[in-house]
Amino acid sequence: MKITLKIWRQSNSSEKGNFQTYSLEDISPDSSFLEVLDLLNVRLEEEGKDPIHFDHDCREGICGTCSLYINGRPHGPSQTTTCQLHMRSFKDGELLWVEPWRAKPFPVIKDLVVDRNSLDRIIQAGGYVSVRTGGVPDANSLPVGQDLAEESMDAASCIGCGACVASCKNASAMLFVAAKVSHLALLPQGKVERQSRVQEMIAQMDKEGFGSCTNTAACEAECPKNISVSHIARLNREFFLAKILPETK
């Protein structure tokens, strides 16, 4: 395959960036998109040029670090992570525009790398449970219905990639926050901080500068883990109840 890449280059958060053009030939259709960027970086380094900076880690679709817009869509044309996107998803000779997440809470660090610590700070605000340390409890000591357990685990599959924010016209992080609140609210272990958790996480989300949800469901359409917007409905219920009910200890 032959492809042409228009890649966003930006030296740091304070400098202006621009798109630069790169052409590559003899690309295997079975190569992942990140492997193509690796090949391009090898060529740039051989030429004595600054390689393209981009986030990556596990390359197995579970860490959520490979955040890229490709032709205007988070992670590209398939509902998957960028590391699991293969070149057979594109046409031979296609022009691809590659850029970082565009959201105020995700400032560009360099090139395609953005600072997503805002999501970590939301988790730190309330995404935890209070448990006693010690021996591992028996598996049946806290009975949980199968339907609740499965729904909780579905929400817990969120990898914090930020595609929901990148796809939202308001740069809302509601699907991310909803997934983190939902998977704990559904389980007995999460009941202790149930009321404080949702209030503190939403407060931190607003503090970080994320926008509001207007129910377009673009986040669900682009989420690589297929997390449902029904969790946003639960988040709203949890927040409403936390405001009107007396706090439980």
Around Cβ 130, how many Cβ atoms within 10 Å?
9
Q: Which residues make beta-bridge pairs with 172?
A: 211
pLDDT score of 40: 98
Token pair listed for 249: 């200890």
Q: Phi then psi for 112, rounded to 5 degrees?
A: -100, 5
Distance of CA 234 to the CA centre of its chain: 20
Hey, what domains does the chain have and what are their CATH numbers?
Answer: 3-110 (3.10.20.30), 117-132+144-248 (1.10.1060.10)
Q: How far apart are CA 66 and CA 60, in angstroms?
A: 10
Q: Which residues make beta-bridge pairs with 5?
A: 22, 96
pLDDT score of 56: 94
Is pTM beyond 0.95 here?
no
pLDDT score of 248: 59
Is the separation of the CB atoms in 130 and 192 below 8 Å?
A: yes
- Give the residues of the chain that fall short of pLDDT 50: none
